Amino acid sequence: MFKIDAQEVNLFYGKMHALKNVSMQVEANEIVALIGPSGCGKSTFLRTINRMNDLIYGVKINGNIKIDDNNIYSNKVDVNELRKNVGMVFQKPTVFQKSIFDNVAYGLRVNGITKSSVVKEKVEKALVQAALWDEVKDNLKKSGLALSGGQQQRLCIARTIAVEPNVILMDEPTSALDPISTSKVEELLLELKKEYTIIIVTHNMQQAARVSDKTAFFYVGELIEYDKTPKIFKNASIELTQNYVGGKFG
């Protein structure tokens, strides 16, 4: 059984056909990288996995996506519950105007976990996992916005894992960071992989090569090729893929 199983997903923004028959399977504890020129539908596909596209006016989706064999587009699914189980990290750090502690505790609290001892324990655990604990443990009350960009992104990751999701989606999580912060986040990804299944959109080929197990190449709404990362980067079976990873366009 696959962790995530997308079958023939088609998505329309109004009349614009943004995803065309995309099928993709992801196994548990894998990191999958999504690559492709901008505007090809990577973010759109990512957002179908936690039904974030539901929030956009005029979006139509058909096809099937299963997580742990449950169809997430079925009427019975509680969308909030689904989104809790499928965490998401964005390109720019989205730190709320709250203290570091309250940022991480946010997801717990909105999900009804309010007992302070439990919250405290889970916040600490998440910050440790996100490799941020040592840097912030003495000023948890400080505003999250006072942290550096790299720290903010790790705070966002901590906040995501605090609610203990199954899957983490990341949309270019390091493109706004400096190289040192980027490598810290990459290390963190390899660490998190032990517990989570991760799908990451990236513009950075080296990053995809460094961290992912599989790579999916998107082009104008279609999934062109999806295979083990070394195969995609060394001998892709489709010329378009070879050209893209070889830097001939993009």
Partner 1 sequence: MKKSFLFKLKEGFIESLVFISGNLAILIVFLIVFFLFKEGIGLFNQQPLEEGTAIMLNPTNPIKELKPEEIKQIFEKEIRNWKDLGGKDEPIVLFTLSDVDRLFTLEELGSSFEYLPSKIGEYIMNNPGVIAVFPEKYLPPKIKKFHMKNISLKDFVGGKEWHPTATPAVQLGVLPIILGSLLVSLGAILFSLPIGLAVAVYLSELAPKNVHQVLKPTIELLAGIPSVVFGYLGLALLVPFVADFFDLPVGETALSGSILLGIISLPTIITLSEDAMKSTPSELKEASYALGANKWQTISRVIIPYAKSGIISASLLGIGRAIGETMAVIMVTGNAAVIPYLLDYEGHFKNPFYASVRTITATIASELGEAPQGGIHYQALFMLGCILFIITFIMNLIAEGLNLKKR
Partner 2 sequence: MAFKKKFFQGFAFSIFYLFSFLVFALVFAILGVLLYKGIPAMSWEFITKAPEDGMTKGGIFPAIVGTLALIAGASLVAFPIGILAGIFMNEYTYDNWVRKFIRMITNNLAGIPSIVFGLFGMSLFVNTLEFGVSLLAGSLTLGILVLPIVIRTTEESLKFIPLDFRLTSYALGATKWQTIQKVVLPAAFPNIITGLILSISRISGETAPIMFTVAAYFLPKINLAWNEQVMALPYHLYVVSTSGIDPESTSRIAFGTALVLTLIVLILNLLANWIRKSMSK
Ligand X SMILES: Nc1ncnc2c1ncn2[C@@H]1O[C@H](COP(=O)(O)OP(=O)(O)O)[C@@H](O)[C@H]1O
Site map (CB under 5 A) of Mg ion, residues 28-67, x = contact: ---------------x------------------------
Regarding 42 and contact with partner 2 (CB under 8 A), the answer is no
Among 101, 111, 67, smallest CA distance to 86 is for 67
Regarding 80 and contact with partner 1 (CB under 8 A), the answer is yes
Question: Binding segment for partner 2 among 17-25, 90-98, 117-125, 218-226 (CB under 8 A)?
Answer: 90-98
Question: What length does the chain have?
Answer: 250
Binder to partner 2 among 97, 141, 179, 194 (CB under 8 A)? 97
Contact between 7 and 65 under an 8 Å Cβ cutoff? The reply is: yes
Regarding 39 and contact with ligand X (CB under 6 A), the answer is yes
Binder to partner 2 among 40, 52, 72, 126 (CB under 8 A)? 52
Helices (H) and strands (E) counted in the chain, each on its own, are 10, 10
**Coil/strand/helix, residue 127:** helix
Regarding 107 and contact with partner 2 (CB under 8 A), the answer is yes
Pure H helices in 32-78: 42-49
Q: Which amino acid, residue 244?
A: Y
**What are the strands of the beta sheet with 4-13, ordered from one edge?**
16-26, 4-13, 59-67, 70-71
Within 10 angstroms of residue 40's Cβ, the number of other Cβ atoms is 22
Query: Cβ of residue 43: shortest distance to Mg ion, in angstroms?
Result: 3
Contacts with partner 2, residue ranges (CB under 8 A): 50, 52, 55, 57-58, 80-81, 83-88, 90-92, 94, 96-98, 106-107, 110-111, 156, 159-160, 163, 169
Contacts with Mg ion, residue ranges (CB under 5 A): 43
